[in-house]
């Protein structure tokens, strides 16, 4: 029994509700998962008509603990400003569901879990998964909950990709879709940054070809570097400068060495160090790969509009001015494709200097837009 086993068991205990699907899932790669588990959290009550369900799709390093305390970090959930009793997504009115994605590391089947065929953690034997596979696993969860049609699917970044996949693959099962700070495909720049992160992990000797659990190791340095590099892409240059400038960390002068002289260095090191406590390195490889492979147009003969043809879904696309990871131009591509099929779409670009991470923050204009859209849809759906 490896040292990491207790950690894994603790994670499992912390994972919340678990759906075990004892039926094979054929992945987009052609590989088959004989069975799998989906860990999820729910908030509020499903109404009698089962018409008030909102699926929240989490981003790359997010998880199902969207609106309550995180079991590992003890910190508030990542959208507690948005979701809860009396809040914008009011859990006294809506039934909110959030599940850990396939390939994730907080209870849903992923590379950290045990491969039933070998009795060992999957490691790199885990099949490569896609955004479509993540959604396919979520579909089983929504089926299990007896929900015919989601009132709304909402998510930012990679969560927005899942929203797009849901709404285009299952247009009759999604009344309203809110893809935020996202894209219909990964750009070369997106892929490039992910590749830096993956190479950092794989360059760490403790990664051990992906079998670190078997050797009681964890590639913490590599994963931390991956997080540090990625974290820069979540912030804008302006915000980074405003927050840190060239301020020095706990010292009055530069040290002529390689300590964290600057506050921004100290901040990034902290981001890296805290991330490795809650995230699995192999999961990071698999999930970044899934987003790199995402290309909604390619799945529809190269024309994105074809993905939306005849769609009854009401879309609200939101982007942020200072987001250079998923810039507004990417959202406009989605909006124009929806226009091309005369889809029902609203689109707002929110003015902020918070960068990509703005979707996780309480930006007043963002919240006001979201509130208006959800209330408008709720009226059309007869929920208010």
Partner 1 sequence: MVAPGSRVLDIGCGDGALLAYLASEKNVDGRGMELSQAGVNACVRSGLSVIQGDADNDLPTYPAGAFDYAILSQTLQATRQPRQVLESLTRIARRAIVSVPNFGYWRVRLGLLATGRMPNSSLLAHSWYDTPNIHLCTIRDFLGLARDLGLVVEQAQMLDRDGQPWRFRADSGAANWLAEQGVFLLRQAD
- Least separation in angstroms between residue 335's CB and partner 1 is 6
- Least separation in angstroms between residue 319's CB and partner 1 is 9
Interaction of residue 15 with partner 1, rule CB under 8 A: no
Structure tokens at 11: 């994670």
Q: Are the C-beta atoms of 60 and 35 separated by less than 8 Å?
A: no
Interaction of residue 375 with partner 1, rule CB under 8 A: yes
Nearer to partner 1, 353 or 365 (CB): 365
- Least separation in angstroms between residue 349's CB and partner 1 is 5
Residues involved in catalysis: 157, 323, 356
Residue 235 to residue 237: CA distance in whole angstroms? 7
Rg of the chain over CA atoms, in angstroms?
Answer: 21
Interaction of residue 72 with partner 1, rule CB under 8 A: no
Residue 97 to residue 181: CA distance in whole angstroms? 20
- Least separation in angstroms between residue 298's CB and partner 1 is 20
Map the footprint of partner 1 across residues 286-325, applying CB under 8 A. 314, 316-317
- Least separation in angstroms between residue 167's CB and partner 1 is 15
Interaction of residue 369 with partner 1, rule CB under 8 A: yes
Going by C-alpha positions, the residue among 68, 64, 86 that lies closest to residue 77 is 68
Nearer to partner 1, 12 or 365 (CB): 365
Q: Residues in contact with partner 1, total (CB under 8 A)? A: 29
Nearer to partner 1, 47 or 344 (CB): 344
Interaction of residue 260 with partner 1, rule CB under 8 A: no
Q: Return all residues near 129 (Cβ < 8 A) that are at least 6 apart.
A: 27, 28, 29, 102, 103, 286, 289, 290
Nearer to partner 1, 126 or 359 (CB): 359
- Least separation in angstroms between residue 341's CB and partner 1 is 7
Interaction of residue 167 with partner 1, rule CB under 8 A: no
Q: Candidates 298, 371, 381, 383: give the one binding partner 1 (CB under 8 A).
A: 371
Nearer to partner 1, 196 or 368 (CB): 368
Site string for partner 1, 322-351 (x = CB under 8 A): ----------x--xx--xxxx-xxxxxxxx
- Least separation in angstroms between residue 364's CB and partner 1 is 10
Nearer to partner 1, 49 or 342 (CB): 342
Residue 15 to residue 72: CA distance in whole angstroms? 10
Nearer to partner 1, 143 or 351 (CB): 351
Interaction of residue 180 with partner 1, rule CB under 8 A: no
Residues near partner 1 (CB under 8 A) are 314, 316-317, 332, 335-336, 339-342, 344-351, 365, 368-369, 371-373, 375-377, 379-380
């Amino acid at each position: 029994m490896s040292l990491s086993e207790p950690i894994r068991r603790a994670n499992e205990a912390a994972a919340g509700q678990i759906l075990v699907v004892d039926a094979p899932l054929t992945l987009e790669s052609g590989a088959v998962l004989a069975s799998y588990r989906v860990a999820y959290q729910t908030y509020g009550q499903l109404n009698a008509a089962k018409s008030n369900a909102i699926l929240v799709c989490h981003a790359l390093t997010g998880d199902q603990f969207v609106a309550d305390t995180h079991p590992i970090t003890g910190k508030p959930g990542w959208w507690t400003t948005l979701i809860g009793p009396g809040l914008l997504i009011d859990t006294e009115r809506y039934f909110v569901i959030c599940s850990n994605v396939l390939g994730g590391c907080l209870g849903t089947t992923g590379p950290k879990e045990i491969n039933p065929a070998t009795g060992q953690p999957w490691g790199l034997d885990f099949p490569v998964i896609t955004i479509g596979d993540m959604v396919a696993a979520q579909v089983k969860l929504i089926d299990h909950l007896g929900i015919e049609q989601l009132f709304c699917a909402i998510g930012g970044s990679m969560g927005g990709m899942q929203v797009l996949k849901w709404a285009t693959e299952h247009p009759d099962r999604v009344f309203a879709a809110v893809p935020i700070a996202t894209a219909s495909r990964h750009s070369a720049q997106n892929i490039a940054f992910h590749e830096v992160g993956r190479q950092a992990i794989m360059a760490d000797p403790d990664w051990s070809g992906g079998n670190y659990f078997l050797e009681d190791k964890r590639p913490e340095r590599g994963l931390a570097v991956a997080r540090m590099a990625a974290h820069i892409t979540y912030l804008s240059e302006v915000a980074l400068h405003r927050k840190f400038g060239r301020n020095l960390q706990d010292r009055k002068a530069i040290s002529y060495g390689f300590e964290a002289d600057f506050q921004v260095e100290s901040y990034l090191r902290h981001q890296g160090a805290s991330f490795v406590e809650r995230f699995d390195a192999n999961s990071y490889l698999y999930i970044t790969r899934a987003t790199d492979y995402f290309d909604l147009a390619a799945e529809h003969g190269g024309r994105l509009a074809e993905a939306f043809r005849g769609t009854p879904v009401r879309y609200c696309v939101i982007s942020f001015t200072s987001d250079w990871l998923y810039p507004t131009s990417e959202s406009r591509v989605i909006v124009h494709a929806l226009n091309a099929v005369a889809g029902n779409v609203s689109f707002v670009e929110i003015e902020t200097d918070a960068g990509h991470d703005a979707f996780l923050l309480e930006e007043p204009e963002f919240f006001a837009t979201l509130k208006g859209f959800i209330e408008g849809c709720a009226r059309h759906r007869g929920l208010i």
